[in-house]
Structure 1
Amino acid sequence: MTGSDASPSFRLAYVPGVTPTKWVRIWNERLPEIPLNLVAATAAEVYGALRGGDADAGFVRLPVDHADLSAIPLYTETTVVVVPKDHVVAAVDEVSTEDLADELVLHPLDDTLAWERLPGRPANERPATTADAIELVAAGVGVLVVPQSLARLHHRRDLTYRPVSDAPESRIALSWPQDETTDLVEQFIGIVRGRTVNSSRTQPTPPAEPKQRKRPETGGGAQRKPAAGKSGGAKSGGAKAGGKSGGASAGRGSRGGSGGAKPKAATRGKPRRRS
């Protein structure tokens, strides 16, 4: 599968204990036209789902085989011991592996912790699954050391758990086939890494260019109208200059004299009208 022929949906695998709700919600908000389908898988099955094309990416527990899978570590889980509520461990806030030396510690076949040496006393048989081991703890057969997310996943009202300070830890990662890093995988990587919708890798729609501001028509017209009015008034004779100009022109036109003598003659005529 390549970026050009990606499937119209995105298939996300996840192992027990991982809650992908937050990332699925963000995906649905950003890519509502592309459905995200969840694929539940055990810690052992998830790699087969990725390699076999049953999932485009998946939340897995490290380590992964980097020969053909890419992985981005996300977070490390606290390791806890699951005990009955009336167990002596329930009275403390935290224990060490030495505190479990006298306990029968169950070791299921699907254990996700990389033990160099299992603490406590080993059971005669290994439970097939973590869920089976939880049932044995509830029956008082032994205790179980697991990542905290699995203790929460298999929560029972008659059981509790406490952190184990020096136990191995489980790390969660996002993994996908190296040769199938599609556009949709890149989109989900961005979501998991916390990229915003405006990140360059999400290829957002470029913002529209701002429109040029136009000068107000009313302001320009208001400034031009007074100038037009003054010009019109001068032509109509409303101003003194217009009246003088009009009178001079009329005098020159009716008397037909030269331009210099006519105004003086008109001035000498005024005293005669007062007498």
Structure 2
Amino acid sequence: MTGSEVPHSFRLAYVPGVTPTKWVRIWNERLPDIPLTLVQVSPTEAFGALRGGSADAGFVRLPVDRTDLSAIPLYTETTVVVIPKDHLVAAVEEITTADLSDEIVLHPLDDTLDWEKLPGRPAIERPATTADAIELVAAGIGVLVVPQSLARLHHRKDLTYRPVTDAPESRVALSWPQVETTPDLVEEFIGIVRGRTVNSTRGRGPTPPQPKTKRAHAGGAAKRKPTAGGKSGGKAGGKNPRGGSASPKGAKSSKTAKRGKPPRRP
């Protein structure tokens, strides 16, 4: 990508409850020249933001319409019931939906859980948002079943929550518009979310290989090239450190070959 083609920023949408901090930090380390702009959207606005171009990619909750959007499922959240701290359910570690049969279970319009049948008794009216439903729970008008991240997001000192073991679960995914060629920056962010290293072949580009250095031989001595006649280029006479010949082991020297008994005089 040339300098003129680099966008001014990468726009990342995210729905309430998702914390993109870790991925944003990695992005800033790897691409400090391209700012990442966070765009907070409601669950109902998330897909419109991706289709309308106000976000390049986004953390959303499944299901995703795969007709024009791609998605990578990331993780599944625990489902909990939000209750007042003095509620009977607060005395146990976890419950089932059957334990809520006598409770008014609030069902906000922005609910992210795919219920076949809502447990408990329905409220007269549906709250507009999860935040509104939290206020009603604090007022003692019912309980609320939500993904754990939303219970933490709307934490209050007078409320607590407990896992609901058989409730529907919410799955978080990374989604982006389907196009013939995925933009480079979207590919970069997909790689970060999937845990690719900076040197991945699908990343921004591998680090060029470093030149190899010549390793010294054992003892730290550099290898010497043999001189003419097969002798080492070391000390005169080609002797090794022990004072012997530099010739290969088992080979006789030329001096030794000529030496013999002197001839007898007649």
**In the superposition, relative to structure 1, how do residues 62 and 214 fare at CA in structure 2: closer, same or farther (>3 Å)?**
same
**What is the one-letter code of the residue matched to 1:97?**
T
Cα distance between partner residues in 1 of 2:187 and 2:222:
51
CA-CA distance at 1:199 after TM superposition: 1.8
The structure that has the greater radius of gyration is: 1
Deviations 1:144-198 (A, max 9, x none): 0000000000000100000111111100000000116211111111111111122
Match of 1:89 in 2: 89
Pick the aligned partner of 2:210 from 208, 211, 220. Answer: 208
User: CA offsets, 1:91-141, max 9 Å, x none?
Assistant: 001111110000000000000011111110100011110000000000101
8 Å CA contact 1:79, 1:145 repeated in 2: yes
Q: Is the 8 A contact 2:7 2:34 kept in 1?
A: no
Residue equivalent to 2:260: none
Identity across the alignment (%): 75
* Cα distance between partner residues in 2 of 1:87 and 1:74: 33
Residue 187 (structure 2) pairs with residue 186 (structure 1) = yes
What corresponds to 1:234 in structure 2? Answer: none
Supply the RMSD in Å over aligned alpha carbons: 2.3
The residue aligned with 1:153 is: 153
SS in 2 for 1:90: helix
1:140 maps to 140
Q: Which amino acid aligns with 1:206?
A: P
Matched, 1:122 2:122: yes
Question: Shift of residue 226 of structure 1?
Answer: 3.2
Partner of 1:271: none
1:63-74 equivalences under 5 Å are 63-74=63-74
Q: In the aligned structure 2, how far is the partner of 1:143 from the partner of 1:5?
A: 51
Deviation (angstroms), 1:209? 2.6
Secondary structure of the 2:82 match is: strand
Alignment of 1:164-179 (within 5 A): 164-179=164-179
CA separation of 1:218 and 1:39: change in aligned 2, threshold 3 A: same
- Cα distance in 2 for residues equivalent to 1:25 and 1:64: 26
Unaligned runs of at least 5 residues, structure 2? 226-231, 239-266
SS in 1 for 2:39: strand
Give the aligned residue type for 1:33.
D
Aligned to 1:45, the other structure's residue is in SS state helix
For 2:202, what is the secondary structure of its paired residue?
helix
Q: 1:6–1:183: 8 Å Cα contact kept in structure 2? A: no
Match of residue 226 from structure 1? 236
Amino acid at match of 2:15: V
Contact 1:6/1:182 (CA < 8 Å) preserved in 2?
no
**How far does residue 208 in structure 1 lie from its aligned partner after superposition?**
2.3
Could you list the per-position Cα deviations for residues 15-44 of structure 1 after superposition, in whole angstroms to 9, with x for gaps in the alignment?
000000000111111111111110100001
Instruction: Tell me the TM-score normalized by structure 1.
Output: 0.76
Hey, which bits of structure 1, 4+ residues long, moved more than 3 A?
211-220, 222-228
| Preserved CA contact (<8 Å) 1:82 1:162 | yes
- 1:100 maps to 2:100: yes
| TM-score between both structures, scaled by the size of structure 2 | 0.79
Counterpart of 1:233 in structure 2 is none
In 2, Cα distance between equivalents of 1:178 and 1:158: 44
Retained in 2: the 8 A contact 1:113–1:146? yes
Amino acid at match of 1:205: T
1:214/1:105 Cα in 2 relative to 1: closer, same or farther (>3 Å)? Answer: closer
